[in-house]
């Protein structure tokens, strides 16, 4: 019977090490992966995911993969770049360190990794060393035949890393005597708006959906000077978080049914063109207060990007992962769970004293009262930490 490697990825929305120059094409390839992953999702309602978390988990899987299994992961993440695996891992680590440094004291940003390994198997030393060196990932040895206890321990670790936002990710039914390993990444992000929305301005308003449907949402309102972009069939704003290094971009189509058309345009260039076209102006902003929780089966999503062999019992190649088993290892569980909250204080932020910035100007109105796209990014690199859509359903 074949053994199984379980890869689990967790997201919501480091110790500093050497910071090195990161090639622009390396950053662009990760943005390309993020946009391609999002475009491939089957989307009918609200969704949110963290490409950053999925990238980290895939890189950890890549360390133990060989042959075509490794090549497919590398191709999906880096578009067949000429960088060696060591360079890719060094660039990733430096990028993560730079993000952590830019978060500073204003933004809570962490990415934790761990390998939970069966007590019947031994991970190759070089895999252990690379997991620790580039991802800070420790090895936790588990008796997976004790499925409930093992699932509880892994879920408790995930909960701790995500400040209690992600619960019960690992199902005990996934664990048995053939389980070799779980590779888990957990990302947590919490930030406060640079200019918070006064809670007293939040009120119930209509949100317009396709097919002449309407629902009521809690709409946050404010007037402020912030980056604005006007496209042919949409408008966009960028709301900065405290510290000025991260922001959240909202792209609202002009038409109630315009979101799929906007999503079809998504590429790194589409996002960079918007970023380059932002200009600061006085805005009257209306944005829904919302909470999203979504879960994806990556065994269905990653093959769309060419990552297929790792899920195939015969074709998967993890010969560089486990000392006792050169073959028969494959991935049968790959999940991504994301929790994302937006309120007057910020993203995943508790309510705080808010203040407005009154100006004697006639503001441009940005009213996100129809299905829209959003993403949280590192402004300097353009790296996407979270991306999603707000498209509530009418019961």
How do residues 84-126 score in pLDDT, each as one tens digit? 889 999 999 999 999 989 888 888 888 888 888 888 888 889 9
Buried b (16+ CB within 10 A) or exposed e, 69-106: bbbbbbebbbeebebeeeebbbbbbbbbbbbbebbeeb
Domains and CATH numbers, the chain: 3-191+292-340 (3.30.497.10), 195-287+356-390 (2.30.39.10)
- Token duo for residue 325: 């088993």
Strand partners, 280: 227
C-alpha closest to that of 121 among 271, 5, 280, 295: 5
Burial bucket for residue 22 (CB in 10 Å: 0-12, 13-18, 19+): middle
Give kind and range of the element (H or E) at residue 86. helix 85-103
Q: Which whole number is the average pLDDT over 269-284?
A: 94
- Would you state the pLDDT for residue 37? 93
**Which residues in 63-212 belong to E strands, given as ranges?**
107-118, 138-142, 179-192, 203-209
User: Exposed, middle or buried by CB within 10 Å (0-12, 13-18, 19+), for 205?
Assistant: middle
pLDDT > 70? residue 276: yes
Q: What is the dihedral of CA 144, 147, 150, 153, to 10 degrees?
A: 170
In this structure, the number of other CB atoms found within 10 A of the CB of residue 315 comes to 14
- d(CA 349, CA 197) in angstroms, rounded, equals 12
Q: Cα separation of 189 and 350, whole Å?
A: 13
The pLDDT score that the predictor gives to residue 395 is 66
Could you tell me the pLDDT band of residue 80, with boundaries at 50, 70 and 90?
low
384: left (phi over 0), alpha (psi -120 to 50) or beta: beta
Strands (E), 241-361: 246-253, 279-288, 290-297, 329-342, 346-347
The DSSP bridge pattern shows strands 234-240 and 213-230 to be antiparallel
Q: What is the pLDDT of residues 228-251, one digit of tens each?
A: 999 999 999 999 999 999 999 999
Share of the chain above pLDDT 70, in %: 89
Phi and psi at residue 161, to the nearest 5°: -75, -25
- As a whole number of Å, the end-to-end CA separation of the chain is 45
Residue with tokens 């508790």: 350
Q: How far apart are CA 188 and CA 165, in angstroms?
A: 9
**pTM, two decimal places:** 0.87
The answer to whether the beta carbons of residues 394 and 213 sit under 8 Å apart is yes
- The rounded distance, in Å, linking the Cα atoms of 248 and 386 is 9
Residue 271 has pLDDT above 90, yes or no: yes
How crowded is the C-beta side of 349, counted as CA atoms within 13 Å? 24
CA–CA distance, 80 with 82 (Å, rounded to integer): 6
Location of structure tokens 């404010």: 222
- Sign of the four-CA dihedral 271, 39, 185, 239: positive
Q: What are 302-317's pLDDT values in tens digits?
A: 999 999 998 888 888 8
pLDDT class for 354, splitting at 50, 70, 90?
A: very low
pLDDT digits over 134-161, tens only? 998 888 888 888 889 988 988 888 888 8
The helix/strand/coil state of 13 is coil
Is residue 370 within 8 Å of residue 215, measured between CB atoms? no
Q: Which two tokens stand for residue 225?
A: 């000077």
Entry field: residues in the chain: 395
């Amino acid at each position: 019977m074949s053994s199984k490697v379980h890869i689990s990825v967790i997201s919501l929305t480091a110790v500093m090490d050497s910071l090195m120059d990161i090639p622009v094409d390396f950053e662009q390839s990760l943005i390309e992966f993020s946009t391609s992953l999002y475009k491939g999702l089957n989307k009918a309602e609200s969704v949110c995911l963290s490409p950053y978390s999925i990238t980290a988990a895939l890189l950890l899987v890549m360390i133990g993969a060989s042959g075509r299994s490794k090549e497919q992961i590398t191709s999906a993440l880096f578009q067949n770049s000429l960088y060696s695996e060591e360079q890719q891992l060094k660039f990733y680590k430096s990028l993560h360190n730079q993000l952590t440094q830019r978060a500073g004291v204003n933004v809570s940003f962490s990415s934790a990794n761990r390998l939970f390994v069966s007590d019947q198997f031994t991970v190759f030393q070089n895999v252990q060393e690379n997991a620790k060196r580039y991802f800070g990932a420790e090895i936790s040895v588990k008796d997976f035949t004790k499925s409930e206890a093992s699932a509880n321990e892994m879920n408790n670790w995930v909960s701790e890393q995500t400040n209690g936002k992600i619960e019960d990710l690992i199902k005990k039914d996934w664990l048995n005597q053939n389980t070799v390993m779980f590779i888990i990444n957990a990302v947590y992000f919490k930030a406060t708006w640079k200019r918070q929305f006064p809670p007293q301005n939040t009120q119930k308003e209509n949100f317009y959906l396709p097919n002449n449907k309407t629902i009521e949402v809690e709409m946050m309102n404010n007037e402020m000077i912030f980056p604005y972009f006007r496209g042919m069939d949409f408008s966009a704003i960028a709301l900065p978080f405290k510290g000025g290094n991260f922001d959240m971009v909202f792209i609202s189509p002009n038409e109630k049914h315009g979101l799929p058309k906007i999503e079809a345009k998504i590429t790194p260039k589409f996002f960079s063109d918007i970023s380059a076209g932002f200009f600061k102006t006085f805005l009257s902003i209306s944005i829904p207060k919302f909470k999203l929780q979504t879960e994806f089966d990556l065994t269905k999503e990653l093959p769309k990007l060419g990552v297929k062999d790792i899920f195939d019992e015969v074709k998967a190649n993890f010969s560089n992962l486990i000392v006792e088993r050169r073959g028969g290892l494959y991935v049968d569980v790959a999940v991504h769970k994301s929790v994302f909250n937006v309120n007057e204080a910020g993203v995943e932020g508790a309510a705080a004293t808010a203040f407005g910035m009154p100006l004697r100007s006639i503001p441009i109105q940005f009213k996100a009262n129809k299905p829209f796209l959003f993403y949280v990014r590192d402004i300097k690199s353009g790296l996407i930490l979270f991306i999603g859509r707000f498209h509530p359903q009418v019961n």
